[in-house]
Amino acid sequence: MSDFWDVVKERRTCRKFLREEIPLETVLRLLDVFKYAPSGANRHPWKIVLVKDEALRKEIRRVSEEAESDFHQRAPDWMKAFFQEQGIGPQKPFLSEAPYLVCVFGRRKSPYFKESVWIAVGLFLLAVTNAHLGTVPYTPSRKRAISDLLKVNLEWDLQLILPVGVRDPNEFIAERPKPDVREFLSIK
């Protein structure tokens, strides 16, 4: 129960979770935002697989980390600098350490499915913050392998995985100044 702007300002990415269980009901309540989110022609073009099973989370992590090593080697220099500043490597411990993975798929044939999914993700990030929990929008490089693990057919495009859990208060996050609105805005 927080004021809207407080939630917006408190939101921050979490990549380090405590090994702490949270009730399934809590996560289901967060997923309610997908009921209320708008979507292209009101098609609700998403499918969500909520992964609680630890063995499956570990397998998703293993598959993802395999691809991440390649990705980190190929990244442009400025991105490598960003990764280093933030302490981000090809290891994705949050995929197995958070008690839940919210895997979000978009229906390829629905109009504006990608736009719709990511609007809903915006709402979800705030819902997680509002519940004093942590998450990070993780876009896996090996989408196909994860769809296979989750037995989701190719009608659906894996958009992202959102680990959800209790944030580790000791997580290191490099502080970055917020841009001023005038930096990206012009008025006509």
For a copy of itself, the binding residues (CB under 8 A) are 1-5, 7-9, 11-13, 24, 28, 31-38, 41-42, 44, 46-53, 56, 79, 82, 111-112, 114-115, 117-123, 125-127, 130, 137, 139, 150, 159-160, 176, 178-181, 183-188
Q: How far apart are CA 103 and CA 156, in angstroms?
A: 11
- Reduced to 3 states, what is the DSSP secondary structure of residue 111? coil
Find the shortest distance in angstroms from Cβ 83 to a copy of itself: 8
Q: How far apart are CA 103 and CA 162, in angstroms?
A: 6
Cβ closer to a copy of itself: 17 or 125? 125
Cβ closer to a copy of itself: 48 or 154? 48
Cβ closer to a copy of itself: 17 or 116? 116
Q: How far apart are CA 94 and CA 178, in angstroms?
A: 25
Find the shortest distance in angstroms from Cβ 108 to a copy of itself: 15
Surface-to-core class of residue 13, CB atoms within 10 Å of its CB (0-12 exposed, 13-18 middle, 19+ buried): middle
Find the shortest distance in angstroms from Cβ 139 to a copy of itself: 6
